[in-house]
Amino acid sequence: MAKRGHRPSQASSNRPRFYGRHAVLAALDNPERTVRKIWGTHEALAGLDIPSTIPITFANAADLGRLVPGDAPHQGLVAEVDPLEEMWLGDLLAQGADDNRPLLVLDQVTDPHNVGAILRSAAAFDALGIVTQDRHAPSETGTLARSAAGTLEVVPWCRVVNLARALEEIAEAGYWRIGLTGHAKGTLAQVMGGQQKIALVLGAEGEGMRQNTEAHCDELAKLPISDKVESLNVSNAAAIALYAVTVR
């Protein structure tokens, strides 16, 4: 049997509720996703081809609002789902063995809105996937799924127990690990050089990468932003970095 490498974290036993058309329809379209139940208004459910094995409950907008957090924009659809099966890092790296798709590594990025936006950018620029820690990253929630606008279902997400060891395995797979940080001397364009397989490493909102994470990068780089702003939101930085890797 081929070496699978760094083991994934343990999947959560909680069933999240997704809401909004993009998140719910993408979950229905994903053969790897188990949808347990759907609630919806007559208008939102009209014309949808939902498998007969999934229980459907018709509800008005006010009732749906009580199934989701606060004033979440459910758009008339709510679904209860099982979390996706956890992925081995070795399996993810094997999927990119024959191409140069970039890989994203997130060090304690905890805001589900940011991770959702990063998933959207990863899908837009055809990234191989994202790698996060299990304890300091958001779980699959309705908030994250809506922010991802359906891309939670199509971008592989590998959760690992130890990010430093995962970065070592990523290097063994031939990736040049570039950590994005404002105190780097060179820009991303300057440090990419002729490297073909690139893993972009981004740190938490505000704090940035931890020291041990930086130590496991081959290069550190910054984005060439003006001094009018101190830094970019991590999801914006991820999108710009993915674009730079794509067009080099």
Summarised one tens digit per residue, pLDDT across range 101-148 is 999 999 999 999 999 999 999 999 999 999 999 988 999 999 999 999
Is 150's pLDDT higher than 50? yes
pLDDT band (50, 70, 90) for residue 5: low
CA 73 to the chain's CA centroid: 21
What is the predicted pLDDT for the residue at 6?
Answer: 53
Mean pLDDT score, 44-56: 93
Q: Which tokens is 135 given? A: 């304890």
Adjacency order of strands within the sheet including 17-19: 17-19, 77-81, 35-40, 56-58
Q: Find out whether 119 and 146 touch, Cβ atoms under 8 Å.
A: no
Task: In whole angstroms, give the CA distance from residue 234 to residue 182.
Answer: 12
Each residue's pLDDT tens digit, 151-188: 999 999 999 999 999 999 999 999 999 999 988 999 99
Report the alpha-carbon distance of residue 109 to residue 45 in Å, rounded: 35
Of the two residues 56 and 47, the one the predictor is more confident about is: 56
Give the pLDDT confidence score for residue 3 in this predicted structure.
Answer: 43
Is residue 124 a contact partner of residue 51, using CB atoms and an 8 Å limit?
Answer: no
54, 73, 195 from 198: Cα distances, Å: 41, 36, 7
Q: Provide the pLDDT for residue 182.
A: 87
% of the chain residues with pLDDT over 70 = 95
The token pair at 131 is 């790698």
Please report the pLDDT score of residue 194 as a whole number. Answer: 78
- How far apart are alpha carbons 175 and 195 in whole angstroms? 8
Q: Please tell me the number of Cα atoms within 13 Å of 96 on its side-chain side.
A: 24
Let me know: does 201 contact 107? Beta carbons within 8 Å: yes
Residue 180 CB partners (closer than 8 Å, separation 6+): 188, 200, 201, 202, 203, 209, 220, 221, 222, 223, 237, 241
The reported pTM is 0.90
- At residue 12, the pLDDT reads 46
- Under the banding of pLDDT at 50, 70 and 90, the label for residue 225 is confident
